[in-house]
Structure 1
Amino acid sequence: MNTPPSAPAPGRTDGSSVQIGALVPLTRPGWVEAGRHLLAGLELAVGEVNDAGGIGGRPLKLVVRDTAADPHRAAAAVDELARLGVAALAGEYHSVVARAAAARADTLGLPFLCSSAVLDGLTEQPTEWVARLAPAQSHGWRIYADFLLGAGHTRIAVAAEPSVYWAAGTRILREYLAPRGGTVIELDTRALAPTAVCDELVGHRATALLLLVGHPEPAVSIVKSVRHDQRLAEIMLGAPAGQPEFAEWTRLLGEDGAAIPFLRYLPERLGPLGARVETALRERLAEAPSFVAFEGYDTAAVLADVLRAHGSDRARIAESWPRVEVEGTRGQIRFSRTPGISVWQWAWTSVQVVDRDPAEPDRFRVLHAG
């Protein structure tokens, strides 16, 4: 564990509350809808903690910073929050941004519970300061690859943008599918317009196209081009990163956005806590909560439990990760060391492959579970 530099007394930035720094994408080019759901979950849990008496009688407070999907902005926010004296960091949706935040938190000795980012290599070296709720990318995307094989797809194209996250996803798919008779064909969306992507799919005789690209663009344009190309009437569109999870997807694509399988981190049935939180989140968001909202709630619930048990000393918080045992909305949360993962990891929350029902796009169909 790195030795942190001197800092204000953790959790005492305003002299009364225990404070947690929250990193959330709230403006473009960040995925704003994901950020809104993540923040709703965090705020709901914090509100419930305070209704129950706070942390030793002191209110728990979120100090929110917008990362806007910018790694440099996130790292600067971590520096600022550390100076303000927050006890810990929570949140972040984008993997590349979370990686920058985790590296900075590790350097500063600031505990960081990452809510949603899945990149396996969240830090370059093993760290004691960072823990994560979301399943690692290699775990979820292998389950997605099993789904593809089970559905009979062996010639799989990926429309990809340059990114550490998308490159890691392509590598996971290729390494898993190749020994099982699958082929992964890479299509660079920097060089190919959506209509040219369609031509490549025909030429390569692909039976599935996975969207490893940003939302809304170029994902929306590619979906529209493929859906309206008669040559590709039988091709399966997929989005393992979860773009169709949010209501904006349906608003932008309508019927074209249905039947596009993606990964979702929810159990088949929620328990009593999950069901209660789902109702509260639906009221707060005025729409169905995504799995990202549940990740936000669980993040704040875990940190509140740790703060009650160990106080707001940063080193004691980080030392507590392996002793966490908290009822979350999607199961009992414990952290452990997982091979190939550099942070403390919940292994694992439930993983589903789902899509939106073409007959009722607001309804999700579970196609596969792992």
Structure 2
Amino acid sequence: MHEPVGAERADGSAVKIGALVPLTRPGWVESGRNLLAGLELAVRDVNEAGGIAGRPLELVVRDTAADPHRAAAAVDELALLGVAALAGEYHSVVARTAAARADALGVPFLCSSAVLDALTEQPTDWVARLAPPQSRGWQLYADFLLGAGRGRIAVAAQQSVYWSSGTGILREYVTARGGSVVELDMAALTPSAVCEELVENGATALLLLVGHPEPAVPIVQAVRRDQRLTEIMIGAPAGQPELAEWKQLLGSEGAAIPFLRYLPERLSPLGVRVEAALRERLTQEPSFVAFEGYDTVIVLADMLRTHGTDRRHIADAWPRIGVEGTRGLIRFSRTPGISVWQWAGTPIQVVDRDPAEPDRFRILHTS
């Protein structure tokens, strides 16, 4: 029997949200830490404001470690634990598995960070997403490269659906505009061999479609120290240079490497307050991923207050909400070619670390 919309339990038991977060390697642990900080801060704020119709909101966290099998098992476990909804996940390939499992089990899943266009094989009402689809972000990144005169692009790529999808987006978009994209298989090439390929191909840009810190960091070091490649632009659309560990490992060599982040030029008033709280919680500048985590919980909390904790009612409510988040008004709609409910207004920037002051980020291009 379904719990009616807006129903409260007299015992005041917690409303549970399951959180999928990469907290151990090979996951991008720093991104996972930022995501969790945002999720936890929002839960605290929701509970300080009275919770969900008087019931506390509880976050039940599971570490995916960037492993799709662990994520699927976590979704199964969280569903049995009675979570009202699922939140989080950073890695696209992991989120895709989690989304498929959530769809099969009938558990609402608001994906915080993953961008893979085909997050599910078939259209679903159970899954929504805050991050922009990869095609939108990476086409904006390609516009930036072409505008900077970097039309001969080499991609150093590892094998994964995410990296392959990104390469395909870039190739289709860039070649249609007179540029070229050559793929360098990092299963077969050392960093020094990458340098030789860049020289031979006359590349004007090298994009790092690889994991962090290996092999991204040694590739950057090899290219930066090769006198034949002083004019090449290194790029990392997936965002490795935003990580504090990137700066620690590479220092000035990690600057001037453009990447995508999903922030507006100015945060909302809520965003300004949240940024200060996140900085205190993380003891460093928060990544945009922390804002994605915060926005995820406040959207779900609004839905739970308005539509109750029944999973079907939550999934039916995606197109009916409008929540002021840290980065703007969040509304979900159907986007052509995207199988999940999508926030169409996600802000996108191309930024890099300033060579003169590597702790400072420069905005180079915006959506």
Q: Corresponding residue for 1:82?
A: 79
**Cα distance in 2, alignment partners of residues 30 and 349 from structure 1:** 24
1:186 is paired with a residue whose SS is: strand
Equivalent residue in structure 2 for 1:92, among 68, 79, 89: 89
Q: Corresponding residue for 1:278?
A: 275
Q: Corresponding residue for 1:202?
A: 199
Q: Corresponding residue for 1:3?
A: none
* Deviation of the 1:348 alpha carbon: 2.3
Q: Is the 8 A contact 2:46 2:301 kept in 1?
A: yes
How do residues 316-331 of structure 1 correspond to structure 2 at under 5 angstroms?
316-331=313-328
TM-score calculated relative to the size of structure 2: 0.97
Query: Could you list the runs of 5+ residues in structure 2 that have no partner in the other structure?
Result: 1-6
**Cα distance in 2, alignment partners of residues 11 and 319 from structure 1:** 19
Q: Is the 8 A contact 1:26 1:32 kept in 2?
A: yes
* Deviation of the 1:270 alpha carbon: 1.1
**Cα distance in 2, alignment partners of residues 73 and 185 from structure 1:** 34
- 1:41-72 alpha-carbon deviations (Å, 9 max, x no partner): 00000000000110010100000000000000
1:56 is paired with a residue whose SS is: coil
Q: Is the 8 A contact 2:17 2:84 kept in 1?
A: yes
Q: Corresponding residue for 2:170?
A: 173
Q: Is the 8 A contact 1:19 1:86 kept in 2?
A: yes
Check if 1:153 corresponds to 2:150: yes
Check if 1:51 corresponds to 2:48: yes
- 1:302-339 alpha-carbon deviations (Å, 9 max, x no partner): 00000000111000000000001000000000000000
**Cα distance in 1, alignment partners of residues 218 and 255 from structure 2:** 15
Query: What code does the residue aligned with 2:160 have?
Result: S
Q: Is the 8 A contact 2:155 2:207 kept in 1?
A: yes
Q: Corresponding residue for 1:136?
A: 133
**Cα distance in 2, alignment partners of residues 356 and 269 from structure 1:** 18
**Cα distance in 1, alignment partners of residues 345 and 28 from structure 2:** 24
2:265 is paired with a residue whose SS is: coil
Equivalent residue in structure 2 for 1:359, among 333, 356, 361: 356
1:287 is paired with a residue whose SS is: coil
How do residues 218-367 of structure 1 correspond to structure 2 at under 5 angstroms?
218-367=215-364
Q: Is the 8 A contact 1:250 1:257 kept in 2?
A: yes
**Cα distance in 2, alignment partners of residues 226 and 178 from structure 1:** 25
Q: Is the 8 A contact 2:127 2:341 kept in 1?
A: yes
1:149 is paired with a residue whose SS is: helix
2:69 is paired with a residue whose SS is: helix
* Deviation of the 1:349 alpha carbon: 1.0
Q: Is the 8 A contact 1:11 1:86 kept in 2?
A: no
2:333 is paired with a residue whose SS is: coil
Q: Is the 8 A contact 2:332 2:343 kept in 1?
A: yes
* Deviation of the 1:122 alpha carbon: 0.2
1:75 is paired with a residue whose SS is: helix
Q: Is the 8 A contact 1:18 1:59 kept in 2?
A: yes
1:63 is paired with a residue whose SS is: strand
- 1:168-211 alpha-carbon deviations (Å, 9 max, x no partner): 00000011011100100100011000000000000000010000
TM-score calculated relative to the size of structure 1: 0.96
Q: Corresponding residue for 2:4?
A: none
Q: Is the 8 A contact 1:11 1:87 kept in 2?
A: no
1:159 is paired with a residue whose SS is: strand
**Cα distance in 1, alignment partners of residues 176 and 15 from structure 2:** 51
Q: Is the 8 A contact 1:21 1:89 kept in 2?
A: yes
Q: Which runs of 4+ in 1 moved over 4 A?
A: none
**Cα distance in 2, alignment partners of residues 39 and 294 from structure 1:** 10
Q: Corresponding residue for 1:109?
A: 106
Query: What code does the residue aligned with 2:39 have?
Result: L
1:106 is paired with a residue whose SS is: helix
Equivalent residue in structure 1 for 2:59, among 47, 52, 62: 62
Query: What code does the residue aligned with 1:35 have?
Result: G
* Deviation of the 1:15 alpha carbon: 7.2
**Cα distance in 1, alignment partners of residues 8 and 281 from structure 2:** 27
- 1:333-353 alpha-carbon deviations (Å, 9 max, x no partner): 000000000000000211000
**Cα distance in 2, alignment partners of residues 125 and 82 from structure 1:** 21
Q: Corresponding residue for 1:4?
A: none
* Deviation of the 1:11 alpha carbon: 11
Q: Is the 8 A contact 2:12 2:54 kept in 1?
A: no
RMSD across aligned positions (CA) = 1.2
Q: Corresponding residue for 1:73?
A: 70
2:183 is paired with a residue whose SS is: strand
Q: Is the 8 A contact 2:12 2:56 kept in 1?
A: no
Q: Is the 8 A contact 2:8 2:53 kept in 1?
A: no
